[in-house]
Amino acid sequence: MTATDSAPDTASDAGRERFDAIIAADERIEPRDHMPDDYRKTLVRQIAQHAHSEIIGMQPEGNWITRAPSLKRKAVLIAKVQDEAGHGLYLYSAAESLGVDRTDLLDLLHQGRQRYSSIFNYPTLTWADVGAIGWLVDGAAITNQVPLCRCSYGPYARAMVRICKEESFHQRQGFESLYVLARGTDAQRAMAQDAVNRWYWPSLMMFGPPDAESPHSAQSMAWKIKRFSNDELRQKFVDIIAPQADALGLTLPDPDLRWNPERGHYDYGPIDWEEFTQVLKGNGPCNRQRLAHRRAAHDSGAWVREAARAHAAKRAARAQREAA
Ligand SMILES: [Fe+2]
Ligand SMILES: [Fe+2]
């Protein structure tokens, strides 16, 4: 671990100066560099929460793999859900570069002591939800994550570059799936509209609480972990999806949504933050189900981890014998 800020000595003073200089020059902090303890802790919390969101996020859509309406849709959905598992792996690796162990992070998730994105606590009721998630949830994720490609911590920033490319495919497949439904039968069109009605507001909540109630944001901006505030990102997202909804021929469920020529942005109605708080507290429709499923998946994978450990020990012993 690094020397703490509260114990100044020549080495840590020099380390701190170097850290400040790297941040000021908009360069990257690497695992070997000195970093303040709070910077490290903030990153561990953020990257772990992000990694957890990726693997929990496999569940709502995984629910539809066996019921996808065609072979093409099934193949696309399997690829997408696999991508999310991969995103989790990149991110747990990035977190490990900060000196934590992924086993401990998974324990914290399973004990409910570390969070994942609240959006995954909503159910996927119909096939159209898969399209709405791709378009709105992956779309919101991209808006949030593109600026993270320029995050000051190197391993996180680099992981985000690949993740964003894959998220872009996720968003497009969602849009295309909704586009087809919106031009299908009346029932398909109604199903697409209903899914958008249910996912729209939760997707706006993905950007987190309003700036005035987001206490960690200022520090994260100063450290260049975060580049835009929650409200700035939310506005960016609304500006992107409002015209896309028109192209889909679907409506967004907000009577206050309209273009404001003076601001050069879409205005949108008030968000129900009470609902957000309830879901965050664990009272969303699927909180318990998601965690129970995750724990069960982890337990049933115990033999794989055990076999991998035995295999690694065997290889290490062989390498040692050959070196002797
Ligand atoms: Fe992802
Ligand atoms: Fe995704």
- pLDDT tens, 21-75? 999 999 999 999 999 999 999 999 999 999 999 999 999 999 999 999 999 999 9
Q: How far is the CA of 211 from the centre of ligand 1 (A)?
A: 25
Residue 124 has pLDDT above 50, yes or no: yes
Q: How far is the CA of 137 from the centre of ligand 1 (A)?
A: 10
- pLDDT band for position 172 (cuts 50, 70, 90): very high
Residue 309 has pLDDT above 70, yes or no: yes
Ligand closest to 169 (CA) is 2
Q: How far is the CA of 206 from the centre of ligand 2 (A)?
A: 13
What's the per-residue H, E or C state across the chain?
CCCCCCCCCHHHHHHHHHHHHHHHCCCCECCCCCCCHHHHHHHHHHHHHHHHHHHHCHHHHHCCHHHCCCHHHHHHHHHHHHHHHHHHHHHHHHHHCCCCCHHHHHHHHHCCCCCCCHHHHCCCCCCHHHHHHHHHHHHHHHHHHHHHHHCCEHHHHHHHHHHHHHHHHHHHHHHHHHHHHHCCCHHHHHHHHHHHHHHHHHHHHCCCCCHHHCCCHHHHHHCCCCCCCHHHHHHHHHHHHHHHHHHHCCCCCCCCCEEECCCCEEECCCCCHHHHHHHHHHHCCCHHHHHHHHHHHHHHCHHHHHHHHHHHHHHHHHHHHHHC
State residue 245's pLDDT score: 98
Question: Mean of the pLDDT values across residues 203-209?
Answer: 95
State how far the Cα of 10 lies from the Cα of 225, in Å rounded to an integer: 27
- pLDDT band for position 189 (cuts 50, 70, 90): very high
Q: How far is the CA of 197 from the centre of ligand 1 (A)?
A: 22
State residue 324's pLDDT score: 83
Q: How far is the CA of 141 from the centre of ligand 2 (A)?
A: 7
pTM (two decimals) = 0.92
Q: How far is the CA of 7 from the centre of ligand 1 (A)?
A: 39
State residue 3's pLDDT score: 43
Question: Mean of the pLDDT values across residues 89-115?
Answer: 96
State residue 9's pLDDT score: 61
- pLDDT band for position 279 (cuts 50, 70, 90): confident
Contacts of 245 (CB under 8 A, 6+ apart): 196, 251, 252
Question: Mean of the pLDDT values across residues 267-273?
Answer: 95
Average of per-residue pLDDT values in the chain = 94
Q: By the 8 A CB rule, do 118 and 276 touch?
A: yes
